[in-house]
Amino acid sequence: MVGSTPLGGFLLVAALLFSIGLAGALTRRNAILVLIGIELMLNAANLNLIAFWRYGPHPELLTGMMFAIFSIAVAAAEAAVGLGLVISIYRHARTTDLDQMNRMKG
């Protein structure tokens, strides 16, 4: 299976995933959708980590896998914090519209 699909294919999918995530994060006004976009970008990065590991010089070491697992764990924590923030902001301001959350400027 590894032999059949070239590295470029994985990278292309990852790049696509990242772009979709970035677009979502930049354009959506709902904070939850922005978070989803960020998750997409993280997963694109994870895909890259795995792909480079499998096609790299030492596929027998578990380096790439470990990176990915750490990254997923961090992403899960980050998602939890992000959602928590969104909920508390919602409770406070009764909205999740990012354009209206501009009170933390200097």
Partner 1 sequence: MQESISFTPQLAASPIAEILWLIPALPIVAAGLAALLKQPRRKTAATLAIGAMSVSLLLSQVALAHVVGGWTQGVAVRETVNFAWMHAGATSVDLGWVLDPLSAVMLAMVSLVGLLIFIYSVGYMEHDENFTRFFCFMSLFAGAMLAVVIANSLLLLFMGWELVGLTSYLLIGFWYQKPAAAAAAKKAFLTTRVGDVFFLLGIVWLFAQSGTLLFYNHGGGSMERAALTALLAQPAAFGLTAAGAIGLLIFAGAAGKSGQFPLHVWLPDAMEGPTPVSALIHAATMVAAGVYLVARVYPLMQAGALAGGTTTALTVVTWVGAFTAVFAALIAVAQNDIKRILAYSTVSQLGYMMAGLGMGGVAVGMFHLITHAFFKALLFMGAGSVIHGCHEEQDIRKMGGLKADMPLTFITYAVGMLALCGFPLLFSGFWSKDGILEAAQHWSVAKAPFYMLVFGALLTAFYMTRQVAYVFFGHWRGGKTAHESPAVMTLPLVILAFFAVALGLIGTPAWPWFRAFLEGHAAEFSFHRFAEPGLLVLMGTSTVVVLLGLGLGWKLYSGDGPAPEDADVLEKSVPLIWGWLHDRLYIDELYGVTVIAFYGWWARVSDWLDRRVWGGLVAGVAWAFGLFAQFNRFLDNNWVNGGFDKGCEELVSGGGLLARVQNGRVQTYLRILALAVVALVAILIWSSRP
Residues that bind partner 1 (CB under 8 A): 22, 25-27, 29, 34, 98-99, 101-106
CB of 60 to partner 1, least distance (A): 31
Beta carbon nearer to partner 1, 5 or 100: 100
Amino acid identity, position 7: L
* Nearest-angstrom CA–CA distance, 85 and 34: 13
Asked if 91 contacts 99 with a C-beta cutoff of 8 angstroms, the reply is no
We find the least distance from the C-beta atom of residue 23 to partner 1, in angstroms, to be 9
* Rounded alpha-carbon distances, angstroms, from residue 24 to 33, 40, 54, 69, 78: 7, 9, 29, 24, 18
CB atoms within 10 A of CB 24: 19
Shortest Å, Cβ 58 to partner 1: 26
Query: Looking at beta carbons only, is 50 or 89 nearer to partner 1?
Result: 89
For partner 1, which is the closer residue by CB, 65 or 93?
Answer: 93
Whose Cβ is closer to partner 1: residue 69's or residue 85's? 85
- Give the chain's length: 106
